[in-house]
Amino acid sequence: MLLDDLVNSKTRKIGYKTKIKFKCDICGENYLRHNYIYRKMKKNKYYDKDYCFSCWMKKINSTKEFKKSLKNYWNSDEAKEVRKRASSRMKNKYVKYPELKESLSKTLKKRYEDKKLREKISKSVKLAHEKDSSIRKRISISLKKSGANIGDKNGMKKLEARKKVSEARKKMFLNPKIREEYSKKIKKAWEDGKFDGVRVGQCKWYEYEHSNGNIYKVQGTWELAFIKWLDDNGLEFRCHRGRIPYKLGDKNKNYYPDFWIYKWKSYADVKCRYFYSEEKFDAIKKSNPSVKVIILFKEDLIKLGVNL
């Protein structure tokens, strides 16, 4: 809102550099602006009200044109060079003035003590990742290029950092809701095969390239031989997928089968007798009477014609 024209004290006319007094229609702040700037701003299609500088920048920065131009500039060679120079200057400053780095670290730590601020930042980061799924990949590439957090630079190699993270996790898992939520996520990950290749049990993981072009991960040489036999005999299957909950004594447990064979309408588990637990599989059958599980020992695999 226009409040007053501060005309030129000599000519008593509104000139090019005459200051005009306004009241921002958004925040209500009073401010002065040169006439030539005001005229230039009025030509902008987004100038539908009288804005102070802060409100005007917020308005402009939220437009699609600005975001597009900013993205183009950010990816340009000029911007990369500017970021490189700025980073180099900061590194040199930290080397020359180590107290500056320490002071900045203390300030940030103090700010992050504010729970509301941490929650706000967390929400903003989650929202950004939801809007742009490529953020994680770009961060990963950038970190690998710079060598940050790799090798000796990895913060978790410091005993103090490991202890701090360990204490924080212990404190977090005291909450039964968090423990339950975490347990569900881990079970789902195992069920979906996210942990294929992770060293568990006694056997090494192998990759098998199926005749259909898919790559399957199997555990141990017997599973590798069995999956080859399934492929040669044209039997369709699922490998290391699914979860069967069961009860053993007073405890709720989960069984993650090796294979589901469609023609057999059954799960199949390749087992060595030495590691076979009859109690466990009896409990699985008792808890799931409608679920069929075939246990294949060495002699069973040989009978089928599996080349061990």
21 DSSP β-pair partners: 4, 32
What is the C-alpha to C-alpha distance for residues 76 and 26, in angstroms, rounded to an integer? Answer: 34
pLDDT above 90 as % of the chain: 18
Q: Is the pTM of this model over 0.75?
A: no
Residues near 5 by beta carbon (within 8 Å), at least 6 away in sequence: 14, 18, 20, 21
- 20-54 tens-digit pLDDT: 888 888 888 888 888 888 888 888 888 888 888 88
- 14-26 tens-digit pLDDT: 566 678 888 888 8
Q: Which two tokens stand for residue 69?
A: 């131009």
Is residue 12 pLDDT above 50, yes or no?
Answer: no
Residue 180's pLDDT is 84
List helix spans (H) across the chain.
35-42, 53-61, 64-74, 77-96, 98-111, 115-131, 135-146, 159-172, 176-191, 221-232, 278-287, 298-304
- Compute the half-sphere exposure of residue 170: CA atoms within 13 Å on the CB side of its CA: 6
**Residue type (1 letter), 40:** K
| Inter-CA distances, 278 with 106, 115, 235, 274, 281, Å | 58, 51, 28, 11, 5
Give the residue from 308, 288, 287 showing the smallest Cα distance to 297. Answer: 308
Mean of per-residue pLDDT scores for the chain: 83
User: Are the C-beta atoms of residues 283 and 248 closer than 8 Å to each other?
Assistant: yes
Helix/strand/coil for 267: strand
User: Are the C-beta atoms of residues 18 and 5 closer than 8 Å to each other?
Assistant: yes
- Compute the half-sphere exposure of residue 1: CA atoms within 13 Å on the CB side of its CA: 8
- The CB density around residue 37, as the number of other CB atoms within 10 Å, is 13
251: left (phi over 0), alpha (psi -120 to 50) or beta: beta
Going from N- to C-terminal start, the domains of the chain cover 2-68, 156-191, 205-304
- 174-220 tens-digit pLDDT: 888 888 888 888 777 777 766 665 666 667 888 999 998 899 988 88
Mean pLDDT of 73-99: 85
Could you tell me how far CA 186 lies from the centroid of its own chain? 16
What is the C-alpha to C-alpha distance for residues 102 and 93, in angstroms, rounded to an integer? Answer: 12
Could you identify the residue written with the tokens 């040989």?
302
DSSP state of 207: E
